[in-house]
Structure 1
């Protein structure tokens, strides 16, 4: 395979991987909040924590706002419950609907 072909293949893989889901730039978030495209992020954090009631020591370790290929916004929350178990909670960033709530492995 020539160097050009290898470069072209690598570029194509990179571009298609980016189409599935992309991080939203932080400077775009105020406009998304104002337009109603996403909920208040603190409310989304509380909805994620509410998925693990009774674990008062649960805390959020990371969050990301991503846009899917279809244009929807997904708020991804990583948290650790009071027992030290890590969870990944995905929420529809507009409605707060829980899309996924799974133990991180």
Structure 2
């Protein structure tokens, strides 16, 4: 019985972790912007480029977390360095700005 309980608990935690962060479909973003729930994708990309002038954006995702929406912008600089910049999608505040290693 202990094994069954442990397996059930592990499965529940895995499922919960998966629900904690889910990509928002690109077609949902305009309505979220219109409703004032998030900043636009374009404005967050522009903010990321201000942090890393001359870089190229390689990917941008909008995730729905339990505590709100977050944009993750991935960039690559001319010298090949890669950065991930996370923003609070509602306020535009930078949550993290780190170089990939």
Q: Return the TM-score normalized by structure 2.
A: 0.83
Give the structure 1 partner of residue 81 of structure 2: 85
Aligned residues: 99
After TM superposition, give the deviation of residue 26 of structure 1 in Å: 2.5
Secondary structure class of the residue paired with 2:51: coil
Alpha-carbon separation, structure 1, partners of 2:41 and 2:60: 10
Give the structure 2 partner of residue 74 of structure 1: 70
Alpha-carbon separation, structure 1, partners of 2:66 and 2:60: 19
Structure 2: state its 5+ residue gaps: none
Q: Hey, which bits of structure 1, 4+ residues long, moved more than 4 A?
A: none
Alpha-carbon separation, structure 2, partners of 1:104 and 1:73: 22
Alpha-carbon separation, structure 1, partners of 2:33 and 2:70: 14
Secondary structure class of the residue paired with 1:50: helix
Structure 1: state its 5+ residue gaps: none
Q: Is residue 2:65 matched to residue 1:65?
A: no
Secondary structure class of the residue paired with 2:13: helix
Deviations 1:37-85 (A, max 9, x none): 11111111010111113xx2x1011111001112x11000010012110
Q: Return the TM-score normalized by structure 1.
A: 0.81
Residues 1-105 of structure 1 mapped to structure 2, 5 A cutoff: 6=7, 8-9=8-9, 11-53=11-53, 56=54, 58-70=55-67, 72-105=68-101
